[in-house]
């Protein structure tokens, strides 16, 4: 191959991610020209509604997948937390790159932690998962919808529309905005989304040539963790209407996986911790999902309609 084209969203963070992959590929394959194809997605255009109300996280990837289908690009770079648990037929993940910091970040101009916010404090987040965990631990706070790219969200905070906002720490760090982080939430305080802070590269399943080139970027430890986390989501329906957290870490040959399903108001939650062989992450994810159902997740899921 003499050329690889990467489909990407147009946000500054998405372009950073695509450029990072471009640079990695160029270093490995000096004779291959790697280009970016920036595209606008429905998820980037529908900014006034919560994602679960307008079609879910898949809105961030459909246009990129279309570019793969019609031959305008060979690769698409995604944040793995935005990739639906089930890929459409004909598509495959060619590589999952090493993960950045997977924690959620607390950002505020006046307060240092969630616990410092006064009753009625306004916390902005785009995530049902984050909102549910805030409500469970800090029932006096107001979790309000916050959409837009990272810069837009920070601008809304700076205008005083929120007392604090919650963002993925990885995005802030990648954009050189780590100084905006007042504190980091531990996984015990806010369990990350499946795949959070990991980048994935998608291509057509039948492009063995592309998969061979890109596969050299695979980070096996991260891939095992992300596969386990995504298996939890897949077993529970794979929808972003579910306040779901899943986070795995590698310990020797074992994966330790924590998973959570919570009611949006935070009043009910099921949480499990389990371990299994890193060589079979999907089975571990399925086991965690079954244990969640046994601990009350079934009733929570049923209540979500």
What pLDDT does 54 receive?
47
Give 271-275's long-range contacts (Cβ < 8 A, gap of 24+): 271/191, 271/295, 275/251
In percent, the amount of the chain with pLDDT more than 90 equals: 88
Distances (CA, A) of 177 to 48, 65, 71, 232: 24, 30, 35, 31
* CA 69/CA 218 separation, integer angstroms: 23
In percent, the amount of the chain with pLDDT more than 70 equals: 93
Region 72-93 average pLDDT: 96
HSE of 162, CA atoms in CB hemisphere, 13 A: 24
pLDDT digits (tens, 9 = 90+) for 130-165: 999 999 999 999 999 998 999 999 999 999 999 999
Quick one: which of 74, 72, 46 has its CA closest to 60?
46
Judged against a pLDDT cut of 90, whether residue 57 lies above it is answered with no
pLDDT digits (tens, 9 = 90+) for 15-39: 999 999 999 999 999 999 999 999 9
Judged against a pLDDT cut of 90, whether residue 304 lies above it is answered with no
DSSP assigned state of 294: I
The two beta strands, 122-125 and 142-145, are parallel
All domains in the chain, ordered by first residue: 1-97+198-218 (3.40.190.10), 104-185 (3.40.190.10), 220-305 (3.30.160.40)
Alpha helix stretches (DSSP H) within the chain: 12-28, 42-45, 51-54, 62-69, 128-137, 150-158, 169-174, 208-214, 220-235, 281-292, 298-303
Please enumerate in sequence order all residues whose Cβ is within 8 A of that of 94, keeping only pairs 6 or more positions apart, or say none. 75, 201, 202, 203, 210, 211, 214, 215
Which pair of tokens denotes residue 160? 């005083």
Helix (H, G, I), strand (E, B) or coil at 22: helix
pLDDT digits (tens, 9 = 90+) for 113-136: 999 999 999 999 989 999 999 999
Answer whether 148's CB lies under 8 Å from 156's CB: yes
Region 50-70 average pLDDT: 74
Quick one: which of 172, 35, 34 has its CA closest to 104?
172
Judged against a pLDDT cut of 70, whether residue 56 lies above it is answered with no
**Catalytic (active-site) positions:** 82
Helix (H, G, I), strand (E, B) or coil at 148: coil
Token pair 């900014």 is found at: 47
Phi and psi at residue 165, to the nearest 5°: -135, 155
HSE of 50, CA atoms in CB hemisphere, 13 A: 18
pTM: 0.92
């Amino acid at each position: 191959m003499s050329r690889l084209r990467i489909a990407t969203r147009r946000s500054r963070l998405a372009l950073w991610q695509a450029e990072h992959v471009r640079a990695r590929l160029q270093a490995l394959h000096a004779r291959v020209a790697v280009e970016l194809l920036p595209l606008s997605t429905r998820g980037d255009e529908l900014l006034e509604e919560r994602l679960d109300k307008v079609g879910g996280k898949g809105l961030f990837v459909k246009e990129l997948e279309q570019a793969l289908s019609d031959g305008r690009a060979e690769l698409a770079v995604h944040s793995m937390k935005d990739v639906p648990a089930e890929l459409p037929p004909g598509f495959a993940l060619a590589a999952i790159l090493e993960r950045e910091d997977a924690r959620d970040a607390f950002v505020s101009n006046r307060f240092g932690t969630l616990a410092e916010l006064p009753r009625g404090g306004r916390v902005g987040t785009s995530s049902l998962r984050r909102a549910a965990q805030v409500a469970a631990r800090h029932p006096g706070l107001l979790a309000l919808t916050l959409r837009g790219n990272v810069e837009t969200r920070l601008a809304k905070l700076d205008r005083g529309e929120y007392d604090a906002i919650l963002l993925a720490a990885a995005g802030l760090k990648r954009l050189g905005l780590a100084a905006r982080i007042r504190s980091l939430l531990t996984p015990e305080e806010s369990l990350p989304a499946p795949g959070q802070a990991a980048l994935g590269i998608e291509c057509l399943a039948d492009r063995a040539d592309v998969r061979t080139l890109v596969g050299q970027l695979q980070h096996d430890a991260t891939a095992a963790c992300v596969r386990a986390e995504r298996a939890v989501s897949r077993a529970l329906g794979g929808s972003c209407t579910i306040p779901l957290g899943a986070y795995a870490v590698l310990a020797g040959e074992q994966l330790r996986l924590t998973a959570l399903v919570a009611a949006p108001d935070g009043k009910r939650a099921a949480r499990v911790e389990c371990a299994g062989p890193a060589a079979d992450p999907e089975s571990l994810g399925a086991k965690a999902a079954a244990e969640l159902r046994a601990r009350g997740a079934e009733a929570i899921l049923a209540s979500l309609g």
